[in-house]
Chain A
Amino acid sequence: MSTGLNRKYRKSQFTIISWVDSRIVKNAKQSLIKEIMGKLEEIHVLQGHKGRIWSGAWHPRGNAFATCGEDKTIRIWSMDGSEWITKTILSDGHTRTIREVAWSPCGQYLASASFDATTAIWSKTSGEFECNATLEGHENEVKSVSWSRTGSLLATCSRDKSVWIWEVAGDDEFECAAVLNAHTQDVKKVAWHPRQDILASASYDNTINIYKENTLDSDWECTATLTSHSSTVWGISFDATGNRLASCSDDKTVKIWQAYEPGNEENIPTPDNQTVWKCVCTLSGFHSRSVYDIAWCKLTGLIVTACGDDAIRIFKEDDNSSKNEPTFSLVCTMHKAHEQDVNTVTWNPVTPGQLLSTSDDGTIRIWKFIE
């Protein structure tokens, strides 16, 4: 399996010791050569929140976004002329830090996950944003919330080690469809597949779990556990097809996972007729601290990371990359993108190359990536 990479190596100036090492060496050295490829321009620096900003989420139309943080408020921002301004502040929903916000695919609803153990659902049906429902059930801090592609399902996860799936039964009615206890530790992140009702979750137990509804008894079950990271997995993001998943971790690496469905042409065994996920690429040597968030752009295929070393990095898949041994190059490093840890990065779903980041430094920044 190493021949492809090694052959490429022999042509280059770097010596190879072993395949595993060479991949790391390759990535790090390549970055030196190719880093000049792209440029990240800071367009706006936005202030308003008090203290650490944990999360930011673009509205599906790309013309507004929501942010939240330790000041227990949610701010909704939109353009006024050429400036981004706070249009609404939602401050009566939670009693503790708000960890994450997520828009429903229709853009009518906003969900917020809080350390107060609840998830709030906000909607604008009557003109103003109002909290229409509060989802209770988790025993302690809710860390992440995510809507499925149709908006009919919602997933939440918590330090209580569980992942909950909620069915949207009506405007302000949510029914718990499943409580999944596949993780052995704090669950940090949930993310839905972009094309199917498949859920992924990332945890302090160093693994990623994949869940699917069993068509026979309509019970949700964990169908795969992805192990390779050596510390907390902070972020996960599917590509546009959902056949690949990118993950980032406290182990300072980024990993790319490929789905192999039953009957795959590579003849990779799929026990119990379930899709298996294999780690096909590890990006090491780029990040100097914990990587807190990762976003795979559905429009451009670019991957962006938020790191505890205050930098934002962008990776691009190489032209000669292959499905089973993909290769990525670092195309941009924005050192000191923020004055402190970068907590989230997210691509605008409509405008290619537009990026939003939030940080411990209390600012939100809007960036433009130019290749």
Chain B
Amino acid sequence: MPTEIENLNPSVYAKCKERSVTDEEQNEDVPDPFDQREVFDLIRVINDPEHPLTLEELHVVQQDLITVDDANNEVKVYFTPTIPHCSMATLIGLSIRVKLLRSLPPRFKVSVEITPGTHASEKAVNKQLADKERVAAALENAHLIEVINQCIASS
């Protein structure tokens, strides 16, 4: 882990409003499929590993960069590192993955990728995040899991 912060002055954006709950959603008899906003709500509160800010405030995750296909059990998240050489990209991706792994039902196939064109090692990071064996091994690393838990601990 680097001792110096790479991006000293990141742009900070406003948080979105709380989701307004519709009458239909209140109705226990109506099935609510997972939607974009629900997945966004799960990951927007993840803390950035370097700054005391959330991924939402840094625009690392954005609602329109999430696609959810509830019927086909697919969730795809694009995340945007704040700078193209961000060494934290893998850690951020892993945090998003772990948060969704722990929150969504196991039927979902989750893919987490860097927004195309926003990182120097985009392909390498994407490949590593898509490799479930590498992810599984990483999550057995006590130090790493501690860092991830700090990122996804709800504030």
Contact = CB atoms under 8 A, between A and B. Distances in A.
Interface of A: 52, 70, 96-97, 99, 115, 140-141, 143, 159, 186, 188, 204, 231-232, 250, 289-290, 308-309, 339-341, 360-361
A48 to B, nearest CB: 18
B136 A361 contact: no
A101 to B, nearest CB: 16
24 contacts: A52-B136, A70-B136, A96-B140, A97-B136, A97-B140, A115-B136, A115-B137, A115-B140, A140-B137, A141-B137, A143-B133, A159-B134, A188-B133, A232-B127, A289-B109, A290-B130, A308-B109, A308-B132, A309-B109, A339-B106, A339-B107, A340-B107, A360-B106, A361-B106
Interface string B126-155: 010011111011001000000000000000
Contacts of B132: 308, 341
Contacts of A308: 109, 132
Contacts of A360: 106
Given A52-B136, A96-B140, A204-B131, 10 more contacts: A70-B136, A115-B136, A115-B140, A140-B137, A159-B134, A231-B127, A250-B130, A308-B132, A339-B107, A361-B106
A43 B131 CA distance: 31
Interface residues of B, number: 12
Contacts of A70: 136
Interface in B41-83: none
A250 B133 CA distance: 12
Contacts of A96: 140
B22 to A, nearest CB: 31
Given A70-B136, A97-B136, A97-B140, A232 B106 contact: no
Contact of A232 (B107, B109, B131, B137): B131
Contacts of A52: 136
B15 to A, nearest CB: 34
A309 B111 CA distance: 13
B124 to A, nearest CB: 10
Contacts of B140: 96-97, 115
A186 B106 contact: no
B126 to A, nearest CB: 10
B106 A340 contact: yes
Interface string B86-125: 0000000000000000000011010000000000000000
Among all A-B residue pairs, the 9 with the closest Cβ atoms: A141-B137, A115-B137, A96-B140, A340-B106, A115-B140, A97-B140, A97-B136, A232-B131, A70-B136
